[in-house]
Amino acid sequence: MEEVEERVNEILKEWMNPQLIEEMEEGVINAPQDLLGMHFYEGTQMFVVRRPVAQRVWITDVSGETAYEAEELDAELGLFGLQIEKKKDQLKDYRVRIRYGEGDVVETADPYAYEPEITDYDTYLFAQGSHYEIFDKLGAHVETIDGVTGTRFAVWAPHARSVSVVGNFNMWDGRLHTMRLIGPSGIYELFVPNVGEGAVYKYQITTRSGDLLFKTDPYGNYAQVRPDNASVVTSLTGYEWQDADYEKKHHAKTREVRERAPMNIYEAHLGSWKKRVEDDDNGFYSYRELAEMLGDYLVEMGYTHIELMGIAEYPFDGSWGYQVGCYYAPTSRYGTPKDFMYFVDEMHKRGIEVILDWVPAHFPKDAHCLGNFDGQAVYEHSDRRRGEHPDWGTYIFDYGKKEVQNFLVANALFWVEKFHIDGLRVDAVASMLYLDYGKQDGDWLPNKDGGNENYEAMDFLRHLNSIMEKRHPDAYIIAEESTAWPGVTKRVEDDNGLGFSYKWNMGWMNDFLEYMKLDPYFKQFHHGQLCFSLSYHLSEKYILVLSHDEVVHGKCSLLNKMPGLTGDKYAALKAAFGFFYGHPGKKLLFMGQEFAQEREWSEMRSLDWFLLDQEPHQGIHAFIKDMNKLYLENDALYYNDSDVMGFEWMDCERAETSTVAFVRRGKTTKKQLMFILNFTPVAHEQYTVKAPCGGTFREILNSDAPKYGGRGRLNESPIKAKKVTTDKKKKEAAYELTCYLPPLSVVVLEYDYKK
């Protein structure tokens, strides 16, 4: 009997590859399946198991009734082996039983008994940058295979010597679950039985230089609450969406339909809109609680969209979510991924569309994140002159690398397809387009033609927008682009545009706010800043924005940008909002400004909701609510945003009085609107201005109304437009009207156009 056992051991040892043993000893094995698991050699069934610290190991059948004890082959490596020569005794399926100590026995399926799921076609598409469902392959996915439930882990680490998945399920021991390399793809994969939702994990990566790195999963769907930073296994399946009717209507929308529809966006940071506990870093309301509170508030106020800051997981609160650590995971600050699904679902139930801020421009240097992922530049460019933002202290994505493009394009699709997100606002597009953005001479590399345009970033953005248009024409992608780069919202196939749905009108925002800050006397010398944007408003599909960036870092709240004494500040703010709503372009207003928040915004505290107990703030709040209602009920304010007929100046030449007047037209001659604005504290009792036609004009909104905190100087009677002769010889005539124009005000008149 001893002779038989000795011969069997010799067969096992003969089969075991010395090179694989050496790689295992050095911790650089990337094909563990060639050594571990079940194999056949010369008709003999062989099992090799690696379980360091184990006292004894058995190979059993599935029922556990038949058990064969394995021999310890290498105590230092923790290798155990078993051979079964007779065919009648060989196992079709098996389990591994491990005893670590008295009463400490674990029985599990063998990770190396399962074939990889990632195919050659998957790796081909990924290398081409066109695997648009790569998020279903990479990352951590709970599966059941032949009755065994576990998690399949897969990660791209092209320069790694070896990769293991470590976590609270294996005592963070990288020797236990070494992953297999899938061909030359750089992708590592392993199915780990008995690991389910809630398991905490990272990837242990052995670099070319022999260093060990511990990285969060780039494709992981859930992560620990900071300051902890490991990934958490979760499943995105099983949530029962209730928005089928909404989705059906939404999917029917084309780009052209969207451009003719109202778009009134409330920009919000969930962690500071309202907090459960002030002065507590984790005193947040949950996604589910915010869904009810915030959703009802948006409906009450008349908003059509919400834009969310900081949803993809990020390590540092002070980045507001613009330095993302986990692109495929909603932040755990407010709950689980399914809690976020519930949030989106509740918005859709109320007819509110959801936009996410999305950051493909750069990512943080935190050690657990994407930077130097496998010891070398993987997601960032390898040359620091292309791969780093010196001012922001972040890495720049390498857009020329197909797998990186795939990571980003698939991520945009992921939010739309898995979370029913309606649109994405792309942050810092200018920093992507210009190679010298924020850099000094000598600190950046020109393109192949010697210019500062980033050709690879342009290619990525066109790829992103074209594939989103193809797969989800109902979704929209918005560019925060702060320069005059041409064709941002032109279709990719038309004049080689970038293909965005909309562009933030940063030029208008900067000019207008600078104008509003001026003392009323000096406004007359800067009248062009008020009017200039109407000379280019048709050059792109614009969204007018009064965003979070304008109420932080010493810039003051919108209220405190207004000059003058306290009463004048509120009146001037209403006039400013009047111009904002009247100006062509979709709308975005940052939270808190709708009730004239006095302090600058801070991510560390709630908005100052107590201000709504004070009359001036109640007045602003009521004014915004009524302006939102006016916007929704009058297609003149949105239908022709991008059409020349949608806007016409009636008067933009009275710089000395700082007044302007214009009309907005919708799809019919009915319910057209005329805006008259006064940006000085001087009333005009008989203000005469050009009218678009004859007929009757009716005041439907006046910012001086008592309900808005004004003094009630209104135009309560209908106003008749009078015909005036402009050229007696040519017998040309026009129309004009006269109204009362209060100081620091906006007056909105409704009329039906008559020839």
The answer as to whether 133 is a domain residue is yes
Residues 310 and 446 occupy one common structural domain? yes
pLDDT at 2: 42
We report the CATH number of the domain holding residue 682 as: 2.60.40.1180
Give percent of the chain with pLDDT exceeding 70: 98
Does the active-site annotation cover 495? Answer: no
Choose the catalytic residue: 217, 480, 635, 641.
Answer: 480
41-44 long-range Cβ contacts below 8 angstroms, 24+ apart: 41/11, 41/14, 41/15, 42/11, 43/85, 43/87, 44/8, 44/11, 44/83, 44/84, 44/85
Domain containing 422: what range? Answer: 269-369+401-503
Is residue 139 a contact partner of residue 154, using CB atoms and an 8 Å limit?
Answer: yes
Average pLDDT for 118-124: 97
For 55, 210, 215, 558, 740, the CA distances from 678, given in Å and listed in that order, are 86, 70, 58, 18, 11
pLDDT at 627: 98
The answer as to whether 320 is a domain residue is yes
- Burial tier of 64 (Cβ tally within 10 Å: 0-12, 13-18, 19+): exposed
Choose the catalytic residue: 259, 345, 388, 427.
Answer: 427
Average pLDDT for 166-179: 96
Residues 86 and 125 occupy one common structural domain? no
Residues 6 or more apart in contact with residue 239 via CB below 8 angstroms: 338, 341, 342
Q: Compute the mean pLDDT over every residue in the chain, rounded to the nearest whole number.
A: 94
- Per-residue pLDDT tens over the stretch 85-120: 899 999 999 999 999 988 899 999 999 999 999 999
- Per-residue pLDDT tens over the stretch 579-629: 999 999 999 999 999 999 999 999 999 999 999 999 999 999 999 999 999
Angle ∠(233,236,237) on CA atoms, nearest 5: 125
pLDDT at 11: 77
250 compared with 523, residue with greater pLDDT: 523
pLDDT at 42: 86
Residues 101 and 144 occupy one common structural domain? no
- Separation between Cα atoms, residue 592 and residue 467, nearest integer Å: 36
Does the active-site annotation cover 189? Answer: no
Average pLDDT for 323-333: 97
We report the CATH number of the domain holding residue 302 as: 3.20.20.80
- Per-residue pLDDT tens over the stretch 649-673: 999 999 999 999 999 999 999 999 9
The answer as to whether 528 is a domain residue is no
The total number of residues shown for the chain amounts to 755
The answer as to whether 595 is a domain residue is no
Q: What is the CA radius of gyration of the chain?
A: 32
Structure tokens at 559: 């209220």
- Separation between Cα atoms, residue 78 and residue 75, nearest integer Å: 5
Domain stop point among 468, 503, 538: 503
Residues 311 and 337 occupy one common structural domain? yes
Least confident residue range of 286-295, 350-359, 536-545, 723-732 = 723-732
We report the CATH number of the domain holding residue 98 as: 2.60.40
Amino acid sitting at position 456:
E
Residues 125 and 103 occupy one common structural domain? no
Residues 83 and 169 occupy one common structural domain? no
Phi, psi of 572 (to 5 degrees): -65, -35
SS3 state at 340:
helix
Angle ∠(529,531,537) on CA atoms, nearest 5: 110
Domains contained in the chain, number: 4
Angle ∠(477,479,485) on CA atoms, nearest 5: 135
Domain stop point among 479, 503, 527: 503
Residues 669 and 707 occupy one common structural domain? yes
Residues 138 and 217 occupy one common structural domain? yes
We report the CATH number of the domain holding residue 190 as: 2.60.40.10
**Per-residue pLDDT at 3 exceeds 60:** no
Nearest residue to 282 via CA among 215, 228, 243, 230? 228
Nearest residue to 577 via CA among 551, 564, 596? 596
Give percent of the chain with pLDDT exceeding 90: 91
730 falls in which pLDDT band (50, 70, 90)? low
Residues 463 and 416 occupy one common structural domain? yes
- Per-residue pLDDT tens over the stretch 15-70: 888 899 999 999 999 999 999 999 999 889 999 999 999 999 999 999 999 999 99
The answer as to whether 301 is a domain residue is yes
Question: For the chain, first and last CA: distance in Å?
Answer: 112
- Separation between Cα atoms, residue 57 and residue 105, nearest integer Å: 10
For 267, 279, 294, 354, 592, the CA distances from 272, given in Å and listed in that order, are 12, 11, 12, 18, 10
- Tokens 């400013």 correspond to 576
Residues 90 and 147 occupy one common structural domain? no
Nearest residue to 230 via CA among 153, 161, 166, 311? 166
For 22, 267, 275, 433, 546, the CA distances from 593, given in Å and listed in that order, are 65, 10, 18, 31, 9
pLDDT at 727: 67
For 5, 129, 552, 599, 604, the CA distances from 556, given in Å and listed in that order, are 83, 44, 6, 7, 17
Domain stop point among 503, 529, 551: 503
pLDDT at 16: 86
Residues 156 and 89 occupy one common structural domain? no
- Cα 393 from chain centroid? 20
The answer as to whether 624 is a domain residue is no
- Separation between Cα atoms, residue 60 and residue 64, nearest integer Å: 5
Angle ∠(664,665,667) on CA atoms, nearest 5: 155
The answer as to whether 381 is a domain residue is no
The answer as to whether 579 is a domain residue is no
Residues 426 and 356 occupy one common structural domain? yes
- Separation between Cα atoms, residue 624 and residue 607, nearest integer Å: 17
728 falls in which pLDDT band (50, 70, 90)? low
Q: What is the pTM of this model?
A: 0.94
DSSP state of 453: B
pLDDT at 493: 87
**Per-residue pLDDT at 266 exceeds 90:** yes
